[in-house]
Homo-oligomer: A and B are copies of this chain.
Amino acid sequence: MKTTTIGKYLLDQLYTRGVRHIFGVPGDYVLKMDKLIEEHRIQYVNTTRENTAGYMADAYARMKGLGVACITYGVGVNITNAMAQAYVESSPIVVISGAAGASETHHSPHLHHLINSHRKDERDCTQFEIFRNVSIDQALLDDPDTALDAIDRVLYSCLRFQKPVYIEIPRDMVDKEVTWRQPLAPEAPKSDPVALEEALNEIVNILKSSQKPVLWIGHETQRLGLVQDAFKFAEKYCIPITTSLLGKGAINEHSPLFVGVYQGGISNAVVTQFVDDCDLLISLGVLLSDVNTGIFSAKLNHPHSITANAEQVAIDHHRYQEVNFTDIVKALAQSEYNILFRHPYPTANCKKKNVSKPTTQKITSTLLFNTLQNHLQSDHILVADIGDSLFGCTDLIVEQDAFFACAFFASLGFCVPAAISTQLVAPKKRVIALVGDGAFQMTCTELSTAVRYSIDPIIIVLNNHGYGTERPLLEGAFNDIVNWRYAELPKLLGGGKGVRVQTEAEFDKALTYALAHRGEFQLIEIELDKTDFSPAMQRFSTLVKNKDKKTSDKDL
């Protein structure tokens, strides 16, 4: 009988599912697990904090399909926000935490790092309870007889639902020997074939009766690996494609079918008008969040709609309970209808690169994004933080899987750690991160990890002197922050290069330099006026402000 240990089985299962790096902060309850990772084929990547380890695992998961963070007990709750974001934006991460061994509370429940510990010989479950709120499945590996089954189950849940899972492993269980057995691989429920056929029949009739369909692709299509199928379906019938903001980067935006990002009244006016005017909206994996729908300004009452996502498959106003997202998208990709749409539509990719020479005028958000577009190559990946860093990217044309942002949960500070782990996953590509000064102050020191492992993303700091997104909503000194000398960060960390630019030409030169130099991170601080916003950002602020006003008028 072949044996293994609980810790080793867990790492082997993660490796099998593509995990090559685990992001962690050590601590006494998790040291044995850390040691085991160090000795495994998986590489342990030290991060400076737990929440940034979470962000790094999240970005890793978005790129590679599964990400892992490893923390210690109690202070491990520092990762809660990163889990919440991964939970809401459907990023499959595994959070492993060490914990006290079973016999350790024999003397007293009052062990350091423990939270609600009242009785001897009773395990403190507070961290488990907290994480239950931000994960889809959880396991406490305190029983060798059930540990392997529990590992198989939570990893299945993680990948099936594309949500975080939590695994707590007491330190006396890490090296516990168990009998190895073939991993369990549950199968996801299949659609009822009759219901699926009924749905497909209905879809072909709707397609045949439509003149102006639009395919709206959202992030869940990416997460579940259905983008190629969705794209094949669109290409087959010549259906123009838009994406949600959270789904931006799902497809190669150079495709002639791509019309731009649709966000209701926030989108580029041409896109808004075109999508609002369609007679069939085929929405695949789109979350109808405030951000994705332009604060609910998106038009959703078209003559016909086909909506498929992780929660439901619906046509017009009825649901197909026995049909799931994956099966319907795959069926559409394989369908052979005698249909070809020929309605005119705007193509986003006709946007010509600006070939004029960059000027010495003071840089603005608009000039910044134009310059960036001019430099973008097929081997670049953009990662954006919240605020104008995100909104300004809306109209950039990017390759498939070459853009992501936490465009729904909107946690400031995600971008820098995310850029590091993305660059780690894709060393042959070049990651360009865009981050505002407020967000940068939250997590910039994680670039220490880039220094340690010679990871070399390009970080562009949009220094607009405070929380710019909030100024149009309600202005006050609380929106101001200290004006750091951001380009000095490499001197603190002992690695990386930093430069500060004030004009379009300086930015062009700095970006050219950064792209040409690899091996260490490159930081470019861009000095912006505090009231300078991209057009997309201005549209967003106006909409939010109007909504807030409407809400408060009603409530007061």
A residues at B contact (CB < 8 Å): 24, 26-28, 31-32, 34-35, 38, 44, 46, 48-51, 74-75, 77-78, 80-81, 84, 87-88, 101-104, 107-108, 110-116, 126, 129-130, 133-134, 172, 175-176, 287-291, 293, 296, 408-413, 441-442, 444-445, 448-449, 451-452, 467, 469-470, 473-474, 476-486, 488-489, 491-495, 544, 551-552, 554-556
Contacts and interface: CB of A to CB of B under 8 A. Distances in A.
A95 to B, nearest CB: 14
Given A112-B409, A484-B494, A488-B488, 12 more contacts: A74-B411, A75-B410, A78-B81, A80-B130, A84-B115, A101-B551, A101-B555, A111-B289, A115-B133, A115-B134, A441-B445, A489-B492
Nearest to A446: B441
A113 B410 contact: yes
Nearest to A173: B555
A290 B478 contact: no
Given A35-B474, A80-B130, A108-B290, A113 B409 contact: yes
Given A296-B108, A470-B31, A478-B38, A75 B80 contact: no
Given A81-B78, A492-B484, A24 B103 contact: no
B172 A551 contact: yes
Copies in the complex: 2
Nearest to A115: B84
Contact of A112 (B51, B291, B448, B555): B291
Contacts of A101: 551-552, 555
A54 B355 CA distance: 50
B102 A555 contact: yes
B467 A112 contact: no
A533 B413 CA distance: 35
Contacts of A493: 482, 484-485
Q: Which among A84, A88, A544 has the highest number of chain B CB atoms within 10 Å? A: A84
A476 B27 CA distance: 12
- The 3 A-B residue pairs whose C-beta atoms are closest, nearest first, are A110-B289, A172-B555, A31-B474
A382 to B, nearest CB: 20
A38 B172 contact: no
Contacts of A35: 474, 476, 478
Q: Which among A114, A288, A478, A484 has the highest number of chain B CB atoms within 10 Å? A: A478
Contacts of A479: 26
A32 to B, nearest CB: 7
